[in-house]
Amino acid sequence: MEISCVVVESPDEKTEISEEKSPQKCIFDWKKTLRRKVPIITWIHEYNIKSFLHDLLAGFTVALTEIPQSMAYASIAGLPLQYGLYSSFMGGFVYAIFGSCRAINMGSTSLMALLIQSHVAEIGIGASTFMSFIGGIIILLLGLVNLGFVIEFFSYPVMAGFTSAAALTIASSQIKNFLGIEGQANEFLESWESMSKKIGETNKWDALLGTISLIILFFLKEISVFGNTGTSRDSSKISILAKRSIFFLSVAKNAIIVIMGMATAYILEQKGLNCLHLTGHVEGGFPQFEVPPPFNDSFQNFVETIKEFGVSLVFIPLVAILETIAVAKVFSRGKTLDASQEMIALGIANLLGSFADSMPVTGSFTRTAVNNASGAKTNIAAVFTGLTILMALKFLTSTFYYIPKATLAAVIMCAMFYLFDFDAFAVFWKNNRLDLIPFLVTLLSSLFISLEYGILIGIATNLTFVLYSTARPRLNLEVLKLPGHQNEIFLIKPSSTIFFPAADHLRNAILKSKEDALIVFNGECIHSMDITVAKVRLVVKKHTNGTKSDRFLQSISDLATKLETKNQRILFLNFKPSIRAICTGINKKLADKFKIGELEDIIQGE
């Protein structure tokens, strides 16, 4: 006997397993599974010199963006600047092997830095690598068991509110560095309160350099549209060169502004003017590969660290997943995205990165866009980015001493301006104004309570709307008069499947009918029904000796019987066989109440 076996791995894909002629036996196709779990196997044999050159250029270009960005994000997290660089190479090496989307850049992001900032301040530097390790394990396990659906609880209104709040919080935390004010405030309200108290201590040189840097960054960002217009056969060499130059200036704007700031600080120092706040010494060399703390310490410290992270222990990995999947969807080029495989790659990147002092990493939209625009052909581009960053760690860290804090603050504030979702207000107002509620709830609670609880409150608010629509499904109610039928026909037609929270709503709709009307319940749009709805509780208020007694009719059978005693009938029209089976399973006498066909024909036939 031949047996053909198909194993469904996810809703979007299935892995066929070869036929086996031996009885009652299926063979697992490990080769296909290996190709799916290690995607580099499927294309590395086709890699050529042309792809190599494209990837080399793209990888180097992305590194020019990532080096200053990663150091800026390390400062957000409260870490030494070199930790940003430590977080920027392992993700690329891992994603080249396990990633399924060619352009993704995986590394530190402003959001991840902000989420671990409070824990770094409380526990110390080891908190970032600990979160990377634990988060990597959680993400990897979720990917292996195909639990990518958990990110579907993060709706667009909630995420727009969350990312906008994060952008405002991060930008606010950089005001002190931008103006040269001393202080440790990192929360939204604390930052503005600290600034209002210390505004008189502003360092005019820091403020001037920060302002000039910010203006140049915005200018270089906005002129990028002139470098992305493409070229035609009729374009002159000068035109092509100009567009490519504009493109390079735009994608390398962070590196350019940091180099300008370093040069300014160095020149001023040589003239004896130490008027700028500098980042200071940045430790060079490769990170020490070791077991992340507190695994190299006592078990008690491990438990205390777990308690300190609290809800963030799960929340941070989920946000990392969400960022990566969102970026991968944009740059998947219409191909089917394997979300579980992206989670596996992300989990391994965080897990291995924790042994190299990496903070939690995720997909970066900005750097992925640069990678894609720079002509990356394969995931190997991420390897070249990582190698460039390792070279910077080895040979360039001594020059980072002269990076002004105001310049890094300008880099961060410019990035946060574009992270804030300005379009959300217009989109929600134009399309669905109710979405403004979860958006604003998430935004305000994230700003004034905390990011972790803000997004949880936003999700709860959004789910309230979902539950309300479940409990109050749309019911189309019509009162009909058909030839040959003396009484009115009260037609109830739900527009979607009814679940148990809607049972009372359905009951109230039925009670609106006249006592002599024929009730027709059209179920052609109902695809499933649970027992609670099938046993719909109809409360009939009956007057006995001047008092009211409530009687609960526990099933459709009781409902039909009671309505007939009041000279009313009920018909169930065009219900699917599976739903009829549920109802008749409760009471077989209901079988003649279910009809299929046109209402006029059924009425005339009776």
* Omega before residue 294 within 30° of 0, cis: yes
Determine the pLDDT at residue 376. Answer: 86
- Least confident piece of the model among 72-81, 147-156, 256-265: 147-156
Determine the pLDDT at residue 233. Answer: 60
Whether 313 contacts 320, CB under 8 Å: no
- Torsion sign, CA atoms 456, 458, 461, 465: negative
Give the model's confidence band at 586: pLDDT under 50 very low, under 70 low, under 90 confident, else very high.
low
8 pLDDT exceeds 50? Answer: no
Integer Cα distance of 467 and 11 in angstroms: 24
538 pLDDT exceeds 50? Answer: no
Give the model's confidence band at 530: pLDDT under 50 very low, under 70 low, under 90 confident, else very high.
low
Q: Is the pTM of this model over 0.75?
A: no
Query: Dihedrals φ, ψ of 160, to 5°?
Result: -65, -40
Task: Name the nearest CA neighbour of 81 among 323, 451, 399, 296.
Answer: 399
Determine the pLDDT at residue 523. Answer: 76
Determine the pLDDT at residue 592. Answer: 77
CA distances from 554 to 197, 440, 472, 490, 588 (A): 67, 42, 20, 22, 15
What residues does CATH 3.30.750.24 cover in the chain? 475-605
Give the model's confidence band at 593: pLDDT under 50 very low, under 70 low, under 90 confident, else very high.
confident
Tell me yes or no: is domain 475-605 CATH 3.30.70.100: no
Determine the pLDDT at residue 366. Answer: 83
Best-predicted range by mean pLDDT (143-157, 220-234, 334-348): 334-348
- Least confident piece of the model among 13-27, 58-72, 479-493, 588-602: 13-27
The token duo for 43 is 């294309």
- Taking only the tens place, the pLDDT of each residue in 490-519 is 788 877 766 666 666 776 676 666 666 778
Using DSSP's 3-state secondary structure scheme, residue 357 falls into coil
Task: Name the nearest CA neighbour of 363 among 575, 92, 129, 1.
Answer: 92
State what percent of residues in the chain have pLDDT above 70.
Answer: 80
Give the model's confidence band at 557: pLDDT under 50 very low, under 70 low, under 90 confident, else very high.
low
What integer is the mean pLDDT of 285-312?
77
What integer is the mean pLDDT of 322-345?
82
What integer is the mean pLDDT of 141-153?
80
334 pLDDT exceeds 90? Answer: no
Query: How far apart, in Å, do the first and last CA atoms of the chain sit?
Result: 53
Integer Cα distance of 544 and 283 in angstroms: 88
Best-predicted range by mean pLDDT (222-236, 276-290, 506-520): 276-290
- Least confident piece of the model among 25-29, 118-122, 439-443: 25-29
12 pLDDT exceeds 80? Answer: no
605 pLDDT exceeds 90? Answer: no
The token duo for 215 is 């203006």
Determine the pLDDT at residue 564. Answer: 64
Give how far the C-alpha of residue 30 lies from the chain's centroid of Cα atoms, to the nearest Å.
31
Task: Name the nearest CA neighbour of 328 among 338, 319, 314.
Answer: 338
Best-predicted range by mean pLDDT (1-10, 173-182, 465-474): 173-182
258 pLDDT exceeds 80? Answer: yes
The token duo for 19 is 């036929």
Whether 126 contacts 293, CB under 8 Å: yes
- The continuous run of DSSP H or E covering 594 comes out as strand 594-595
Integer Cα distance of 90 and 102 in angstroms: 16
Residue type at 439 in one-letter notation: F
Long-range pairs, 142-148, Cβ under 8 A, ≥24: 142/317, 142/321, 142/343, 142/347, 143/340, 143/341, 143/342, 143/343, 143/344, 143/346, 143/347, 144/340, 144/344, 146/9, 146/10, 146/340, 148/10, 148/321, 148/325, 148/339, 148/340, 148/342, 148/343
Residue type at 212 in one-letter notation: I
The token duo for 467 is 């539950």
Best-predicted range by mean pLDDT (2-16, 49-63, 177-191, 583-597): 49-63
What integer is the mean pLDDT of 228-253?
75
What integer is the mean pLDDT of 69-79?
91
pLDDT higher at 523 or 75: 75
Integer Cα distance of 106 and 100 in angstroms: 13
Pairing, β 489-494 against β 518-522: parallel
Best-predicted range by mean pLDDT (429-433, 450-454, 535-539): 429-433
Q: What is the residue-averaged pLDDT of the chain?
A: 80
- Least confident piece of the model among 57-61, 109-113, 316-320, 551-555: 551-555
Give the model's confidence band at 13: pLDDT under 50 very low, under 70 low, under 90 confident, else very high.
very low
Give the model's confidence band at 211: pLDDT under 50 very low, under 70 low, under 90 confident, else very high.
very high
17 pLDDT exceeds 70? Answer: no
Whether 519 contacts 571, CB under 8 Å: yes
Integer Cα distance of 407 and 216 in angstroms: 11
156 pLDDT exceeds 50? Answer: yes
Determine the pLDDT at residue 35. Answer: 83
Determine the pLDDT at residue 563. Answer: 63
Task: Name the nearest CA neighbour of 407 among 200, 537, 253.
Answer: 253
Determine the pLDDT at residue 542. Answer: 39
Integer Cα distance of 18 and 228 in angstroms: 48
Determine the pLDDT at residue 553. Answer: 35
Determine the pLDDT at residue 503. Answer: 64
Partners of 551 in the β-ladder: 540
What integer is the mean pLDDT of 80-96?
93
